[in-house]
Chain A
Amino acid sequence: MGNARDLGTSPDEVQFRFRDDEPVDHGTVTVDACCDQTNATAVRIEPGDDARLLLPFLDRLALVEVNFPVFGDGRGYSAARILREAGYTGELRAVGDVLIDQLSHMRRCGFDSFAPDKRLDKEDAMRAFATWENVYQRAADTRRIIADKRHEA
């Protein structure tokens, strides 16, 4: 493993991106490869991978792709939050079977770019991103939760 060109999505495949910096323009490596190589800056997490293995390398990573081979496998949501909780600020890209109705939750878990296998209807997607004006629980975003708003002075 470790052939960078075989893995990952290109910037062209990214349909929605909530960042201003230039996207990484090369492929990603596996989590194992990332842990072995000292120079990898882009990595791809598969559902069974332990995102915490990447924590020592967060400083050098500019792109983490989290693959959703099937939309019903929700491990990637935890992977995303774990990285953000550890202070990762680079691009966090949801790739694979990413559907309209997962966008808002993925965004809350820290994903800031989206490269769905099948391009999504833009209008439906924008509506989905904006579904929840308020939220009940803390997540990787910095939104004040409903309970905070209830008790502000």
Chain B
Amino acid sequence: MKILTGNDLRTGAVTWWNGSGWSPFVDDAVDVAEDAEEILAREEAARRVNVPYAIEASIDAEGHVRPAHIKDRVRALGPTVRRDLAVPTADKTGWDWVI
């Protein structure tokens, strides 16, 4: 699937397109199929997100969204070396797939 991510303009926080807005949780990300370019242009112009881009992802057996590239997997959870600062998530197995 194709999902959208970027950073919040005001705070810089990592955000994911959830179909109607931007969420801090990667699991909220939705498949945008063919609409990526249109959503990216609209949302960036409205400054609801900064430097957004489309990435490949998949959904695992438990329903968690897993970005394909390691960089976006690190972005989804936080620095692997500071797990105390991780994005709060109910996904207990998250760190296992980051690397």
Q: Do chains A and B touch in the complex (CB under 8 A)?
A: no
